[in-house]
Amino acid sequence: MNDDVPTRRHASMPVDPLRRRLLGAGAAGAALCLALPAHARAAVYPARPIRLVVPFAAGGGTDASTRVLALSLGDELGQPVVVENKGGGGGTIGMEQVARAEPDGYTLVMATNGPMITGKLLYPNLGFDPIKDLKPVAPWFSNDNLLCVKASSPYRSFEEWVAEAKRRPGDLTYGTAGVGSTLHITAELLQRRVGMRMQHVPYRGGAAAMIDLLAGSVDATVDSTPSVIPQVRAGNVRVLVNLNGRRSVFLPDVPTVQESGYDGFSEYSWGGLFAPARTPDDIVAKLNKEVGRVGTRPEVREKMAGAYADILSGTPEDFAQRFRAEAERWLPVVKAAGIAG
């Protein structure tokens, strides 16, 4: 039986009295908590487990970083933080589920910059607006985005790649995890900044793009550190350039776009906690404080390093400013490149 489909109850079947009382008490408790003054509400929150949605399939970089946070955040809050994977729609299905949830702090999502910023453009019939209907809680992780070629590729530097791309506009191909992904938008921004043109080959996920790179079906990929570093260490892949504005601690010998002569270019993938838009500010502030505390724990930093991810920190206001500024850069590029649906 599908666990997602509730068992149908006949109208004449009696509801278990204990279950009725528990359900009633839970609803009443939630209503009471929201009715309390801010200082009192924050003091009693959380009173039950928190559901944390990952809007992608299990096993990816976002999932791994989220699970590191969830375990330690549950310790800090004194209640379990239960991770639930809800993939589909490039991340928008899980995000919409959270946007429509009760704004009480018990349903959160680990959203990433791709679907947060471009979701509404890529899916014109989307039933919600990620920027308006989700509230920033706390940034959590970042991954560097990298332009990579197969280890046997003739291109040994970013300068060589750019020269060839300019000599043969549109001939060099690069794969990404999909149309409108963070990696795709970053590559579009890179082309405009450098003045070159490459041919995008979208895949259903970064793993498929990496397989085709190693098979020689595409000339390059734009991918992030969790996917690339194991291939680099295995001797399969060469990284030409880091698209972030500073060198990666995991790949310190790889230069940045800025170091290659293109000042001001700095794009990377990030993920952070969001809540339904009407979640009270005091609950958001408490969650932000505890996420920040988790990020300072040595064992957490070690686990995140093992996932090739950097830990981010900042207030909800800083976080909101971060992704809104990014949206101002990205949205015109999405429209100009014809990426929007």
DSSP, res 323: H
Given a cut of 70, whether residue 5 has pLDDT beyond it is no
By DSSP bridging, strand 173-176 and strand 268-276 are: unpaired
90/103 Cα distance (integer angstroms): 23
The predicted structure's pLDDT at residue 15: 42
The predicted structure's pLDDT at residue 339: 76
Give the CA distances from residue 231 to residues 42, 175, 207, 211, 309, in Å, rounded to whole numbers and listed in that order: 45, 16, 11, 11, 16
Rounded to the nearest integer, the mean pLDDT of the chain is 87
Instruction: Note the pLDDT tens digit of each residue in 228-269.
Output: 999 999 999 999 999 999 999 999 999 999 999 999 899 999
The predicted structure's pLDDT at residue 79: 97
What is the percent of the chain where pLDDT is above 70?
87
The predicted structure's pLDDT at residue 37: 62
Given a cut of 70, whether residue 195 has pLDDT beyond it is yes
What is the percent of the chain where pLDDT is above 90?
69
239/83 Cα distance (integer angstroms): 33
Show the DSSP H helices in the chain as ranges.
17-35, 38-44, 61-77, 92-99, 113-122, 130-133, 158-167, 182-194, 206-215, 225-233, 281-295, 298-306, 316-336
The predicted structure's pLDDT at residue 120: 80
Q: Which of 126, 300, 151 is nearest to 213 (CA)?
A: 151
The predicted structure's pLDDT at residue 325: 86
- Contact in structure between 189 and 181 (CB atoms under 8 Å): no
For residue 104, which amino acid is it? Answer: D
The predicted structure's pLDDT at residue 41: 57
The predicted structure's pLDDT at residue 314: 96
Given a cut of 50, whether residue 142 has pLDDT beyond it is yes
Least-confidence region, from 23-32, 208-217, 310-319: 23-32
Given a cut of 60, whether residue 26 has pLDDT beyond it is no
The predicted structure's pLDDT at residue 40: 61
Cβ neighbors of 201 (< 8 A, separation 6 or more) are: 173, 174, 175, 176, 209, 212, 218
Higher pLDDT, 340 or 201: 201
Instruction: Note the pLDDT tens digit of each residue in 303-312.
Output: 999 999 999 9
The predicted structure's pLDDT at residue 196: 96
Q: Is the peptide bond before 55 cis (omega within 30 degrees of 0)?
A: no
Query: Which two three-digit tokens encode residue 180?
Result: 């409108």
The predicted structure's pLDDT at residue 182: 87
Domains of the chain, CATH where assigned? 47-142+269-336 (3.40.190.150), 144-266 (3.40.190.10)
Place of tokens 């003054």: 37
The predicted structure's pLDDT at residue 35: 59
Count of other CB atoms within 10 angstroms of residue 34 = 17
Given a cut of 80, whether residue 139 has pLDDT beyond it is yes
By DSSP bridging, strand 268-276 and strand 134-150 are: antiparallel
The predicted structure's pLDDT at residue 219: 98
Count of other CB atoms within 10 angstroms of residue 6 = 7
User: Could you tell me the pTM of the whole model?
Assistant: 0.81
With bands split at pLDDT 50, 70 and 90, how would you rate the model's confidence at 8? very low
Give the CA distances from residue 278 to residues 13, 96, 192, 282, 327, in Å, rounded to whole numbers and listed in that order: 37, 14, 38, 11, 21
130/331 Cα distance (integer angstroms): 14
Distance linking the first and last C-alpha atoms of the chain: 36
